[in-house]
Each structure stands twice: as structure tokens, then as C-alpha cells.
Amino acid sequence: MSKLIGYARVSTRQQSTDRQRADLLAAGVRRDDLYVDQGFSGARASRPQFDRALDALMEGDTLVITTLDRLGRSTQNMLAFADELRSRGAGLRVLNLGGGDVDTATPMGSMLFTIMAALAQMEREIKRERVTDSISKRREAGLDLGGRPRRVTDSQIQNAVRLVKGGEPAAQVARDLGMSRATFYRRSRALADQHGGV
């Protein structure tokens, strides 16, 4: 007798699979046939519960997922997977694809799956392009890109240089700033080059 095998996944341990589980159970998947990977990215080749779900699939069974991105990252990867299922005589059902429930066992479902997989990959690539473009524009404009802030300001370095010129030992001044003497000298040289002398 054919079964529905459910698979849910979240990329981080902090995310919850509750919604996916509820949707899969509502679609008719039994709790015993539900496999969940917590903290596994779709880009990773090895997803233990996904592998177990595939092992549990027999001819005539259907793998049920909530959204297309639970499967993987690239269109090629998703289509190869759908073909593999077809060759095993198993189906794939995506609950929230194109506003409805798509079953690859039907010709229309198979076509829609192919189109949606291509669109999902295109959307990821557009997002990546936008992020890259935004970073390069911020860099060109000399804006802060985030990340760890510089702990010692240029004015602190300038004051420290004055102290050293006034006779304080460079090693002690650098220590007070929380940096090595070499770093202090490097930063003060960079500032001098920048301002034509501090």
C-alpha cells in the first residue's frame, strides 16, 4: 500500500519546524513517516533525515514537502532529484508551490515543478546580485560595511603619538591603547601618510 513520506528541514537549530510539521500532518502524512533535519542547510550534500526519508520511500509512495527550497539549492539539483524519484516509481508532492499543491506524478504537476524550480533558483541569484551590488556601491561611497568596529580611533592614535613625542615610552602608550607596539607604529605611520604628518 502506498504511503506519504513527509520531510521538513530548517537551516539553523534556532528555527522551528512546527509549521512545516503541522502542514505535513494536515496533508495526511503519519507521524511515524515524518523525517526532520534541524540545523542542516539545503546546500549540504548530507542531510541525515532526508537520506532516511528517501530510504523509506517505496514504489508508489510519495515524498511530501512544504516548499521547494526544502529540497535543495539549484534547479539542476531539484530536477535531478525529481527524475530520480520518478525512476524509482515514487512521486513528489509540494504543498505550497505556485499557490497550490503540486504532485509531480501528473504531467501538469511535473511541468509546473520544473518552472517553479527554475524561478526559485533565479530568485536566489537575483538576491545574491543585489547584495553584491549593494556592497560595492557602499564601498565606492566610502560607507561603513558593518562588521567589527575599529576599537582605537584615529584621534586616540594622534594623542598617543603626542605622548610618545613628549617622552612617554612607546611600549607603555601602545599597551594603554590595548595594542602591540608594532600595531601602534603601523597605525601612526598610516595616519602620518594620510595627513602628511600627525
Catalytic residues, by residue number, are: 11
Distance CA 131, CA 113 (A): 27
Q: What angle do CA 64, 84, 3 make, to 5 degrees?
A: 35
Distance CA 62, CA 6 (A): 8
Tell which residue, 156, 153, 193, 196, has the closest CA to residue 164.
Answer: 156
Please give the single-letter amino acid code of residue 65: I
187 CB-near residues (< 8 Å, 6+ apart) = 152, 157, 179
Answer whether 9's CB lies under 8 Å from 67's CB. no
Instruction: Count Cβ atoms below 10 Å from residue 8 Cβ, excluding itself.
Output: 26
Answer whether 96's CB lies under 8 Å from 67's CB. yes
